[in-house]
Structure 1
Amino acid sequence: MSISNISLPVRFDWRDKHVVTQVRNQQMCGGCWAFSVVGAVESACAIKGKPLEDLSVQQVIDCSYSNYGCNGGSTLNALNWLNKMQVKLVRDSEYPFKAQNGLCQYFSVSHSGFSIKGYSAYDFSDQEDEMAKALLTFGPLVVIVDAVSWQDYLGGIIQHHCSSGEANHAVLITGFDKTGSTPYWIVRNSWGRSWGVDGYAHVKMGANICGIADSVSAVFV
């Protein structure tokens, strides 16, 4: 799938289109990789005109065989699993989150669910404008970041303080804002709504802060 060469607006947020689900809380489960991927699928389906619904993160945690559930995982492994196995994600209400690993529950082939047609992975480390075009073209983006310093984030724009230099957390970018003096990405986290700005972080654009542009994925449905 190619990124369309569109001129960028100064501000864009998929939340304004009502295609982003509410912020969730991963609690003590290291399942951020699953939350970010499921969030991207939820939004991609809604952008295509399907109802916006909370899909099952627990299904991905329990069933994505190349990952470690609440002990960690890879967004790319999860996307590859969804794509290769043509998994149909069921609703969160049918397979609710329990913040721990469990046995994979299978559903009949006829059971309704949401599957993906594919995904793309990118390294946008020196091309964050291109990354913004990908966001507009495809929907919210799955990214991995160094979030060691994010624990104490209370608001404002994250512009430095990424200490470890390696990715350790997965999040979902829903938009960007270039209206002020410091342009920033609008990033949905999975640490509950009391964290950050109603569960979101604002991360400076254009300098690959916290490695936000290093490993970016888009989902197609």
Structure 2
Amino acid sequence: MGVLVLALLCCLLRAGTAAFLAPAGTRLGEEGGGGGGGGQGRPPWDGGGREKEEAAAALRESAKRIRLLNSSSKDNATAFYGINQFSHLFPEEFKAIYLRSIPHKLPRYIKVPKGEEKPLPKKFDWRDKKVIAEVRNQQTCGGCWAFSIVGGIQSAYAIKGNNLEELSVQQVIDCSYNNYGCSGGSTVSALSWLNQTKVKLVRDSEYTFKAQTGLCHYFGHSDFGVSIRGFAAYDFSGQEEEMMRMLVNWGPLAVTVDAVSWQDYLGGVIQYHCSLFYACQVSCCLLFMTMSPPGSIPYWIVQNSWGPTWGIDGYVRVKIGGNVCGKSD
């Protein structure tokens, strides 16, 4: 599934949040298990209130899948997988809830020569600039597409010298036309709606997240709102260095990727097997927030909207280069 890279121009874009390694869950496939991170000390997942037999069957399937994923890792630097908050779901259920971004065919990015370019920094992290909001949790709402663009807009607003505000995702879910709320949507359609209508996003405290699609509310007399004045969306296949330049020069990038195997992700750097079990790749909207290549494996740090107990406190690391998980398609 292709990747969607978005960079809002003029008025806004940039986003992300923080965390560092400490896997949240139990690792299967090796002695001693795993642990730590945002979910350290949590009890085993109990199936989320489902029928015990059904939850147990899903958990057994998860255990088999996790062992296979971990056995395919070639060294200790690669990603590792285990029991987490999604283990009680069958893969089809997980995809139906969390991988609901509608892909768009995008124009290929064509670089315009601008003379000699400055070398890229060895490490760059927008979190260091204090312009990244906390990891959010979409719960059972298939609104990852809305979380990614709102995260980008609120960080763009902060990068321009304003206070970092938590903007309303629910407003986009309820009001963006040509989308389906918590049943899925397109980042391009949502940004087009924001750009054409000049709708101002209000604070989350004014239009709070409900984890379900609701009636659209407009705030014509609100004393605060953030709008956009343009955006760009490109296919960066084979051009990850240009993605890095876009990240450094414009801010964090909203993308869609193949995230099927992320159901079981605990930590480490994903280098392959993004869709080990499925020929059909399913897109999920995320937010590229930083690039960080401190060791032998350079990687992107990606913010998700599955809450801070997933992955590395709500983040995932994906290898730079090789178009891993289709991130630059």
Tell me what 1:123 maps to: 235
Tell me what 1:195 maps to: 310
Secondary structure class of the residue paired with 1:145: strand
After TM superposition, which residue ranges in structure 1, 4 or more long, deviate above 6 angstroms? 1-4
Q: Which moved more, 1:7-16 or 1:160-169?
A: 160-169
Distance 1:13 1:110 in 2: 33
Instruction: Show structure 2 runs of 5+ residues with no match.
Output: 1-8, 10-110
Q: Does 1:7 find its partner at 2:122? A: no
Structure 1 contact 21–39 (Cα < 8 Å) conserved: yes
Tell me what 1:219 maps to: none
Q: Write out per-residue CA displacement over residues 95-137 of structure 1, whole angstroms, 9 at most, x where no aligned residue.
A: 0000000000011156420011111111111010110000011
Instruction: Show structure 1 runs of 5+ residues with no match.
Output: 215-221
Q: Write out per-residue CA displacement over residues 187-218 of structure 1, whole angstroms, 9 at most, x where no aligned residue.
A: 0000000111110000001111111112xxxx
| Residue among 202, 208, 215 paired with 2:323 | 208
Q: Does 1:144 find its partner at 2:248? A: no
- Aligned-residue offset at 1:11: 0.9
Tell me what 2:158 maps to: 46
Secondary structure class of the residue paired with 1:133: helix
Rg larger for: 2
How has the CA–CA distance of structure 1 residues 13 and 167 changed in structure 2, closer, same or farther, with 3 Å as cutoff? Answer: farther
Distance 2:223 2:158 in 1: 19
| Residue among 285, 297, 302 paired with 1:182 | 297
Sequence identity of aligned pairs in percent? 63
Structure 1 contact 167–211 (Cα < 8 Å) conserved: no
Give, as a single letter, the amino acid of the residue that structure 2 aligns with 1:151. Answer: Q
Distance 1:141 1:7 in 2: 20
Tell me what 2:213 maps to: 101
Q: Does 1:64 find its partner at 2:176? A: yes
Structure 1 contact 6–133 (Cα < 8 Å) conserved: no
Structure 2 contact 260–282 (Cα < 8 Å) conserved: no
Secondary structure class of the residue paired with 2:226: coil
Q: Which moved more, 1:90-99 or 1:155-164?
A: 155-164
- Aligned-residue offset at 1:6: 3.4
Distance 1:16 1:31 in 2: 27
Structure 1 contact 144–167 (Cα < 8 Å) conserved: no
Distance 2:118 2:146 in 1: 30
Q: Does 1:78 find its partner at 2:190? A: yes
Tell me what 1:155 maps to: 267
Higher relative contact order (CA 8 A, sep 6+): 2
Give, as a single letter, the amino acid of the residue that structure 1 aligns with 2:238. Answer: D
Give, as a single letter, the amino acid of the residue that structure 2 aligns with 1:198. Answer: D
How has the CA–CA distance of structure 1 residues 49 and 9 changed in structure 2, closer, same or farther, with 3 Å as cutoff? Answer: same
Tell me what 1:217 maps to: none
Give, as a single letter, the amino acid of the residue that structure 1 aligns with 2:295. Answer: G
Q: Which moved more, 1:171-180 or 1:161-170?
A: 161-170
- Aligned-residue offset at 1:166: 3.1
Q: Write out per-residue CA displacement over residues 157-191 of structure 1, whole angstroms, 9 at most, x where no aligned residue.
A: 01111214534200001101122111110100000
